[in-house]
Chains A and B, each alone.
Chain A
Amino acid sequence: MADYARVEMQQTTTVQSEDSGVIAFRPDNPGLISVVAVPDKTKTQTEENFLAQLDLFKPGSAKAVASYKAPMGSAHLGVSYTATAADMAVAGNWTCRLTNGTLVPLTFSTTIAYISTYPLQTASFDIALLQTLLTQIVSDAQLRLHLQSSASKDDVRSRISWSPSVATMLGASAHDFHLDDINYDTNEISSLLPDLDILPNPLVFEYAFETGVLAAPTFDRAQVAFVMTLPFGPTVIQCADPTTLEIDVASLQVTVTVGLDGRLSATCQAKAEANYHGVGVKDLSGAIQDAVASAAGGGIPPAVLFQYFERFFVSLMRLNDTPPPSRFGLGSQQPFHGQAHVASYSVSGDALVVSFYTVPQPVVVVAHQ
């Protein structure tokens, strides 16, 4: 019989101004789930007139089952929810989202308590070795990124792809996603376009960028995330409408931050200019940066990334409760004793700490003839 355990999971999360952070966890049984977050500041500047907000989500749901919006001066935020058996039938991670309503970064010390069948275990891995192995793994995985915009969300043209052997592991040869075209307000350049009257507003630009094989990411201890810089070559973005207006992108570099919890964000440095009949008319670096960063940061759902990382660390750190294979005289490998699931990641000194729990496999009774 499994031991039912009340699990307390603690995590420290820094959330930037007017931004959000997500903590994932996985209860195994119905029962009370409670989340308490303590911010490091209770009174500071705000434009939104609240300190912070805490939302609790079931797996795969965008609607919070419990929320609390803390006014300025609150010492803590708390929500609770009693998970039902029906809730537990949906597999996956639960998440709590912390939103910073102030104009300064806030650091939350969060305690999540829930019913888990099995107690959490921890394992640690040296970050320097992880970084060394990452160089190899990313090279072996042959990761490539193709960004291509389109007008309709149903027209999916962007893709992150990987090697055939990774495809075999993940069960997918690529992840496809949609990026919006750049829409540009004609009025901003009206004085420079003599045929403005016949042009639609906004002007629509389709863009496409492609990387070579991605370079090795670096591990960011503070964010518990991999950071990867993607340089793209110079390119020209044609306006979709019949005009000689085009955007000349002299340089473009996207920095993608992939949290081990699945969060994906991106920043972009670009040098771009609108050209009309070959003459530069307006610096569009900011517009390109915003569009690409927004697009690249929304490419892959957090749950998908979380599962990829979970699979990787379960394998690398031998987290499954698996007996040694091929005991002499027994022939082939024995089945799992237990499948590991990652609850959270954190950094302690020079080590990545993985909190995980192991779900034993059901015992299979073989009927003897």
Chain B
Amino acid sequence: MSYPVISSGALAPNAVLTVRFRPALAGWVNVNVTGGAPLPPLRLDVMKPGSTAAAVSRTSAQMPAGAQALFVDVAASTTELAADWTATVTNTGTAPATVTATVRYPTTPGPLGEIDHVVVLMMENRSFDHMLGFLSLAGNSAVDGLKGNESNQDVAGTPIPVHHLGTTTIGHDPGHGWTDVDEQLSKDASGRPNAGFVKNYIRQLTSPTTLDRPMVLAGGTSSSVAFRLGFPCTITVTAFAANIPSNLHSASGQLGTIVLFRPGQTTAAAQSSTPLGSALLKLTYDATPADVASGGMWTCTVTNASDATVAFDTTVSYVASLAASQSGQLTIAAEDTATLTFAPTAVGPLTIVVTPVHGGTTLRSELNLLARIELRRPGVAKPIATQNAPLHATELVINHTVTAADLAAPGNWTCAVSNETLSSVTFSTRVSFSTAIPAADIMGYYNANDVWQYAFLAKNFLLFNRWFASLPTDTWPNRLYSLTGGSGGLTTTPSGSDVTSNPPGYTLTTIFEVLQAHGVDWNIFFGNIPFALIFRHLAQDASYTSRMRPFAELVSRAAVGALPKVSWIDPSFSDAKYDALPNDDHPPIDVEPGQRLVHDIYAALASGPAWSKTLLVCVYDEHGGLYDHVTPPGSPTAPGGPPTPGGPADDQPTLQRYGVRIPAFAVSAWVPPGSVTNGTYDHTSLLATILRRFCKAADGSVPSMGKRTDAAADLGSLLTLTAPRTPPPPAPSAPATATAAVAATAASPTSFGTVLHKSLFGF
């Protein structure tokens, strides 16, 4: 008898469809009935061996097309396996119907045997404490979340404590490559681990500004360079003497000096002298937060102490502010106006460039103008700058310097772009400005209002206290581990230029190939791009690509209990272009769409007839550079060091360590509500669960997908209930979360989504 047992038939009024089956093992039997047309009222009876009386019965009212009709779960004991069971479907209505009855029961022993559908949702780039740390603060002591006293020091030694983020967005995409993670997990001076998140974030955001000032100084004269410091950092000044005469003399014996002055002060903050015989003057100074708070212009003075004229190539390196830019396209109807909004939060240059993209050859205009742009401060109606462009202009530009006075009024700045032609015109836009450095964001966390769906899952299902990313690095290696059990040695996501010029063709064996070889049904349900297309064997064989289906299909199939054994969900990836709303949670996007995605998946599974046979695992691929307080097993004692004992088994010894902890839930009728596990898991636990449930041979052997997977814990031991429980109703719609509009920033050229798009489509 093939499994599951499926029987279909056309039922006249009062006719009966009979299905006979014999459960292979003790456990729970799930019988569900669906129909493809509007269904009349039906009755479902399940009779155990030797009985003509129904052990359970269900009836349904008339239901619309495609709707779930009926399902029951009934226990089968070891004494009830020797003879056939019977399920009957009776048409109790007055219209004919075509119905399909599907019977599922345990086919392998143990808790995993109760599961017929494993559904995996892998989100992007959030850490455990960032998303779930609030649970312990809210009183759930079983959760290894935040205590509220965690902090990291910034570059000046100021503690940045964990804190609730004010919005459901985060300003930037923190670093999360291998060296970033090593720095994030490093210890501070007092030996506290995981102390480098803030410093790493600041270092990533604060690439220094460099001022080059050539000076030709007569003997004994000086020249100065002024600059504005935006952030505590190391100021470096160098002056290289390029043309030192061979007979250079100096009464002091010095070539020259560099003196650094704080704003408005005549007492030197630092100074440095260089003797004759050297060509390089150099000064460094570590500016403190108090130094920066004073504002104003800093000055460094270079003095030629010799008696001859010397040319100095002078360079000042410091952190001015954080440069931000927004790029996009606007299609504006004839003689209409669209508005750009942006929010500079630091003094510095503001540049707006608007360029017509299409339509220039045939445009007409009553005023012979192409467009007009007007820049306005927050809350001020009068523009502070305008520009008109003649009909065939190629671009419009406004340059403005944002001053401290400009920043006195908080809020968004605007730039109105008016199309002055008689046709619709598309413009590309770019706004560049300076922002304050949001160092504290990296220590931020969300709460139950922000991640309302996770609050629901934590209350009703099982939360993993110790699910780690497979490697302490970024997306591609971790997703490779989740699908293949290894990364083939890959330790970082390839760059966009690399994958465009040389598209990688991964040949690692994926779980999908193993499933297909074992005759196990599977599908990938994707939001915008199926990640698995990076695997050559899959991309070149339609028997695999035909199983990659749009996400909407998961919802419709779950509603009628028609999901495959294994469903892998790729959310809509950020930066992967397209106009689909990204919902993968990859910073800096809003987490609200991700909460909605998880909600929709849960609602579809919980309302489907196969709920009692389904296990949903919701997990993140890696931590995305966001703070977590747990040091992953196997982490080296110092950045760049070898793995320490306690890490996972792995085919590659240098990879025997985990990445940072990430949020993970097991959602099933078989896990106790509000439960927490302290077992150690990583992405290969997904493979272990799938292989041991669906690919176990008669002799008990399971295909190997590498040492890491072979040794990984599966999720079977977490399914501890003895009977399936009814799913709680899905969480209600999002409460009034403080959602902030995400600025329309340009896609990062190095982000996962950008690289995936380039890799698959070439642009």
Asked if A144 is at the interface of the complex by the 8 Å CB criterion, the answer is yes
Instruction: Identify A124's interface contact among B542, B579, B580, CB under 8 A.
Output: B542
CA distance A141 to B758 in the complex (A): 12
A137-B761, A140-B577 are known contacts. Are A336 and B502 too (CB-CB below 8 A)? yes
Which residues of B sit under 8 angstroms from A332, Cβ to Cβ?
Answer: 498
Contact flag A139-B491 (CB < 8 Å), given A315-B759, A333-B504, A351-B542: no
Interface residue? B757 (CB, 8 A): yes
Give CA–CA (A312, B533) in the complex, Å.
Answer: 14
A320 and B503 in contact, given A146-B358, A169-B762 (Cβ under 8 angstroms): yes
Chain B min CB distance to A330 (Å): 8
B729 CB to closest chain A CB (Å) equals 32
- Supposing A124-B542, A324-B508, A325-B498 touch, asked if A139 and B579 sit within 8 A by C-beta, the answer is yes
Partner of A126, one of B505, B545, B762: B545
B358 touches A333 (CB 8 A): no
Shortest Cβ distance from B530 into A: residue: A129
Residues A124-138 near B (CB distance < 8 A): 124-126, 128-129, 132-133, 136-137
0/1 per residue, A324-354, Cβ < 8 Å to B? Answer: 1111111011011000000000000011100
- Contact between B763 and A124, CB atoms less than 8 A apart: no
CB distance from B574 to the nearest CB of A (A): 14
Contact A316-B358, Cβ < 8 Å, known A128-B546, A324-B490, A328-B489 = no
* A contacts with B, residue count (CB < 8 A): 55
Segment touching B, from A7-15, A79-87, A159-167, A263-271: A159-167
| Residue pair A123, B541 in contact (C-beta under 8 Å) | yes
List residues 475-533 of chain B with CB under 8 A from any CB of chain A: 488-492, 494, 498-500, 502-508, 528-530, 533
B24 within 8 Å of A (CB atoms):
no
Question: Do B545 and A125 touch across chains, with their CB atoms under 8 A apart?
Answer: yes
Q: Which residue of B lies closest to A335 (CB)?
A: B502
Give the contacting residue for A324; candidates B423, B507, B580, B760; CB below 8 A.
B507
Judged by a CB distance under 8 angstroms, whether A208 is at the interface is: yes
Within 8 Å CB of B545, what residues of A?
Answer: 124-126, 129
A333 to chain B, nearest CB (A): 5
Chain A neighbourhood of B548, CB < 8 A: 126, 129
B403 at the A/B interface (Cβ < 8 Å)?
no
CB of B489 within 8 A of CB of A327, answer yes
- B385 interface residue, CB < 8 Å from A? no
Q: Which residues of chain A are near B505, meaning CB under 8 Å?
A: 318, 320-324
A356 nearest CB across to chain B (Å): 10
A322 interface neighbour in B362, B502, B550, Cβ under 8 Å: B502
Rounded to whole angstroms, the CA-CA distance of A190 and B545 in the bound complex is 62
Closest to B757 in A: A140
State the interface size on chain B (CB cutoff 8 A).
56
**Is B536 part of the contact surface with A, judged by Cβ < 8 Å?**
yes
Q: Using Cβ atoms and an 8 Å threshold, which residues of chain B touch A165? A: 763
Q: What is the bound-complex CA distance between A165 and B358, given in angstroms?
A: 16
Within 8 Å CB of B654, what residues of A?
Answer: 328-329
Contacts of B536 in A (CB 8 A): 318
Q: Given A208-B362, A324-B506, do A169 and B763 touch, yes or no (CB 8 Å)?
A: yes
Name the contact of B761 in the complex, choosing from A125, A146, A208, A316 (C-beta under 8 A).
A316
Q: Is the interface of A mostly helix, strand, loop or mixed?
A: mixed
Query: Shortest Cβ distance from A121 into chain B, in angstroms?
Result: 9
Give chain B nearest CB distance to A161 CB in angstroms: 6
Proximity bits, A47-90, B CB within 8 Å = 1, else 0 = 00000000000000000000000000000000000000000000
Q: Is B539's beta carbon under 8 Å from chain A? A: yes
Q: Which of B339-359 contact A (CB under 8 A)?
A: 357-359
A18: interface (CB < 8 Å): no
CA distance A137 to B577 in the complex (A): 9
When the two chains form their complex, are residues B498 and A333 in contact, meaning their CB atoms are under 8 A apart? yes
Contacts of B550 in A (CB 8 A): 132
Q: Tell whether A285 is near chain B: CB-to-CB under 8 Å.
A: no
Say whether B546 contacts A129, CB under 8 Å.
yes
Chain B residues within an 8 Å CB radius of A168: 763
Report yes or no: B361 in contact with A124, Cβ–Cβ below 8 A.
no
Closest CB in chain B relative to A362 CB, distance in Å: 16
Interface set, chain B 346-402, CB cutoff 8 A to A: 357-359, 361-362
B541 surroundings in chain A (CB, below 8 A) = 123-124
Name the interface residues of A293-326: CB closer than 8 Å to any CB of B: 311-312, 314-326
Interchain CB contact under 8 A, B534 and A318: yes
Is A169 within 8 A of B500, CB to CB? Answer: yes
* A residues near B546, Cβ cutoff 8 Å: 126, 128-129, 350-351
The reply to whether B763 and A123 contact each other, CB–CB distance below 8 Å, is no
Q: Are B489 and A316 in contact (CB under 8 A)?
A: no
B424 at the A interface (CB under 8 A): yes
CB distance from B748 to the nearest CB of A (A): 13
| Minimum distance in angstroms from A126 CB to a CB of chain B | 4
Q: Does B540 contact A (CB under 8 A)?
A: yes
Q: Are A212 and B424 in contact (CB under 8 A)?
A: yes
Complex Cα distance, B541 from A319, in Å, reads: 11
Give Cα distance in the complex from A98 to B443, angstroms: 69
Contact code string B202-228 (vs A, CB < 8 Å = 1, else 0): 000000000000000000000000000
Asked whether any CB of chain B lies closer than 8 Å to the CB of A148, the reply is: yes
Chain A proximity of B763: nearest CB distance (Å):
4
When distances are taken between beta carbons in the complex, the residues of chain A under 8 Å from B533 are: 316, 318
- Contact indicator per residue, chain A 164-189, by CB within 8 Å of chain B (1) or not (0): 11101100000000000000000000
Return the 8 tightest CB-CB contacts between A and B, nearest first.
A328-B489, A351-B542, A123-B540, A124-B542, A318-B505, A126-B546, A126-B545, A140-B577
Chain A residues with CB under 8 Å of chain B are: 123-126, 128-129, 132-133, 136-137, 139-142, 144, 146, 148, 157, 159, 161, 163-166, 168-169, 208, 210, 212, 311-312, 314-330, 332-333, 335-336, 350-352
27 A-B pairs with C-beta separation under 8 A? A123-B540, A125-B545, A126-B548, A128-B546, A132-B550, A137-B761, A139-B578, A144-B358, A157-B361, A169-B500, A208-B361, A212-B424, A312-B761, A315-B503, A315-B759, A316-B761, A320-B503, A323-B505, A324-B506, A324-B507, A324-B508, A325-B499, A328-B490, A332-B498, A335-B502, A351-B542, A351-B546
Given A315-B503, A323-B505, A327-B488, output 16 extra A-B contacts at Cβ < 8 Å.
A125-B545, A129-B546, A129-B549, A133-B529, A140-B757, A144-B358, A159-B361, A169-B500, A208-B361, A208-B362, A210-B362, A210-B423, A315-B760, A319-B540, A324-B508, A330-B489
Q: Interface on B for A, CB 8 Å cutoff?
A: 329, 331, 357-359, 361-362, 423-424, 428, 488-492, 494, 498-500, 502-508, 528-530, 533-536, 539-543, 545-546, 548-550, 577-580, 652, 654-655, 757, 759-763
